[in-house]
Structure 1
Amino acid sequence: MKKILLPIDFSETSDNAFVYAIEMAKIFKAELVLLHTFELPIVDSQSLPLNYATIYETIELTNFDYFKEKMPQLHTIAEERNLSHINMSHILMDGDLVYNIKKVVKQENIDLVVMGTNGAEGWFDSFLGTNTGAVISDVSVPVLSVPNGTKFSKFENIAFTTRFRKKDIEALAKLLLLAKELQVKVKCLYVKTFDSDVSNDKINRWKSHFDNEENLQFFIIPNDDVNETIEDFLVSQDIDLLAMLTYKRNFFVELFTNTTTQKLSYHLKIPILAFQE
């Protein structure tokens, strides 16, 4: 991993995500790229006798000033964590956030996107319903979403939910490479419902791809309540990071928008690492 992208919007949420991003940059000896985007207003040139270029320059200059004022604050955060040596670059762009993230990911050969999430209804609702959810769906690299208010601490246990699909194998392999750098354990969970069509033979064939992984554990829990089982697992196993493959986003919507999860979300806040299909 050589480059990590962090979109910033001068908010407490992005400041919190900055801590995660710069700590990840330290672990992976990576460069941190900071991106701020702004959108220009739609101007009717016939009714507004102003030069559009002047409007553009004014808005761009204002955002540049915000950006310039924010950088010393971020450098202070880095210094407080003894991370002032991390190489940081800065990009200011106009236009749609998701479009610009995709553009920067391609142009800068980004390996990981880190984004803050925020929402009054709970962290997963925000994760699914805002810009972060859009980025997760559209960007080709893994996306780490960080709920506002979550304090960074050393990762020890990562959960990976699976349904023993072929594409899960590749995602888990990528996660294990990251886990080795992070020096953490990976706990792979499958909730086996009554109507499950996954046979024991299929599970054993799938698991055989990872026979030599010492820091990987498999948990197969029979239960028809998938939602509650995953929630209980995150708590009982002291999970610090939840990793998922986004091949079926509707599953995540169903999984994390029930009443139980909304209540739990207020005191269970962990980052989510999303791998794209």
Structure 2
Amino acid sequence: MKNILVPTDFSKEAGYALQLAVDFAKKTNAKLSIIHVIEYYPTASFTTMGPAPESGMPADAFTAQMIEKVEKQFEELRSKEMFDGLDIETIVKIGNPYQNITKKIAALNADLVIMGSKGAHGMDEVMIGSNAERVVRYSKHPVITVKDPIRLEEIKSIAFATDYTETQENLLNHFDKLLEVLDAELYLVRVNTPYNFIPTRGAENNLREFAKKNHLVNVNVSTYDAYKEDAGISAFAEDNDIDLIAIGTHGRKGLMHTISGSIAEDLVNHTNKPVWTCHIK
């Protein structure tokens, strides 16, 4: 790995993501880029960073004040011992968080993006979503989302969820790079649902063929029955004490996304396990 990107809002979840990114950077000698986006639009009266400028305060002055505040936060962050020996850069942008994050991913050609996520449930999931969810949906680069503290050396098992029915070359090329970094036991998992059911023997044989075709060695194969794919993957991970879930995403947009949804996004929203995702081409 050469470049790792960590978006931060200085929350505790972002801190968990940053610690994991530091572990990856030290293991791979990668450059670590940390980006914060000030979500501020001059025409708005309120933003996620707080109220817009008070009457009489020029927008440029307010923006400069916010940038100064973030730069101080980054200065305090860079002084921490955890960054010793690392090549790091800190970036401050203004505007739409998702757009700025994705532009930076492309500019860096990032090998890995690690983001904190609070998740979303119920109406919050429908009405709001999250920047992490959107990055997971559309990014052509691998993304790990983190909700709880986890260190690199603690990732000893990975559940790779697949239905093995399509070409996954882009996904597996990136997944191989992840396996090179982690010393972890690998499980290939297919979730059986009432509307997409294959008997265990046939499904596990297909998983073994998938592993052989893609040169995945020392692999455990399993099926898991559930009403929904994301719930099944999450339950399998809980039942088998899995440390990291890996899954591909199609990056569907518009009506197709509304109809089909995304198993990967649902996992990011609902499971407390770290989730590695990458686009299937």
Q: What's 2:150 paired with?
A: 151
Q: Pick from 57, 61, 72: which aligns with 1:54? A: 61
Match of 1:15 in 2: 15
1:158 and 1:240 in contact (8 A); partners too: yes
Pair 88,42 (structure 1): closer, same or farther in 2 beyond 3 Å: same
Return the alpha-carbon distance in structure 2 between the equivalents of residues 198 and 136 of structure 1.
Answer: 28
Q: Normalised by the size of structure 2, how large is the TM-score?
A: 0.76
Residue 27 of structure 1: aligned partner: 27
1:67 paired to 2:70: no
How far apart in 2 are the matches of 1:87 and 1:189? 37
Q: List structure 1 runs of 4+ shifted beyond 6 angstroms.
A: none
SS in 2 for 1:167: coil
Among residues 195, 200, 209, which one is paired with 2:213 in the alignment? 209
RMSD (Å) for aligned C-alpha atoms = 3.5
Aligned sequence identity (%): 23
- Whole-angstrom CA distance in 2 between matches of 1:217 and 1:35: 38
| Greater shift in the superposed pair: 164-173 or 100-109 | 164-173
CA–CA separation in structure 2 for the residues paired with 1:223 and 1:119: 21
Deviation at 1:271, TM superposition (A): 0.4
Matches within 5 A, 1:107-186: 107-119=107-119, 129-147=129-147, 149-152=148-151, 153-168=153-168, 170-186=170-186
Given that 2:120 and 2:129 are in contact with CA atoms closer than 8 Å, whether structure 1 keeps it comes out as: no
Q: Which residues in structure 2 correspond to 1:85-124 (within 5 Å)?
A: 85-119=85-119
Distance in 2, matches of 1:244 and 1:167, equals 14
Q: Is the 8 A contact 2:211 2:219 kept in 1?
A: no
TM-score, normalising length from structure 1? Answer: 0.77
Aligned counterparts of 1:194 and 1:95: Cα–Cα separation in 2: 44
> How many residue pairs were aligned?
256
- Give the distance between the partners of 2:166 and 2:84, measured in 1 at CA: 42
Other structure's SS at 1:15 match? helix
The answer to whether the Cα contact below 8 Å between 2:187 and 2:220 also exists between their aligned partners in 1 is yes
Q: Is the 8 A contact 2:112 2:144 kept in 1?
A: yes
State the alpha-carbon separation in 2 of the partners of residues 144 and 236 from structure 1: 21
In structure 1, give the amino acid aligned to 2:239. Answer: S
Task: Find the residue that maps to 1:136 and give its secondary structure.
Answer: helix
1:256 CA displacement: 5.2
- Shift in Å, 1:169: 5.2
Cα offsets for 1:81-119 (capped at 9, x unmatched): xx6212211111111111111111122221111000125
Q: Is residue 2:269 matched to residue 1:270?
A: no
Q: Does 1:252 align with 2:263?
A: yes
Instruction: Return closer, same or farther for 1:59/1:135 CA change in 2, 3 Å cut-off.
Output: same
Go from structure 1 to structure 2 and tell me whether the alpha carbon gap of 1:102 and 1:195 turns closer, same or farther (over 3 Å shift). Answer: closer
**Structure 1: gaps (5+ residues):** none
C-alpha distance in 1, partners of 2:195/2:235?
21
1:165 aligned partner, one-letter code: T
Alpha-carbon distance in structure 1 between the residues aligned to 2:34 and 2:228? 41
Superimposed CA distance per residue, residues 108-149 of structure 1 (whole angstroms, 9 cap, x where no aligned partner)? 221111000125859xx69x93111011123221110001x3
Pair 1:224–1:132, CA change in 2 (3 A): closer
2:25, 2:32 within 8 Å by CA — same for their partners in 1? yes
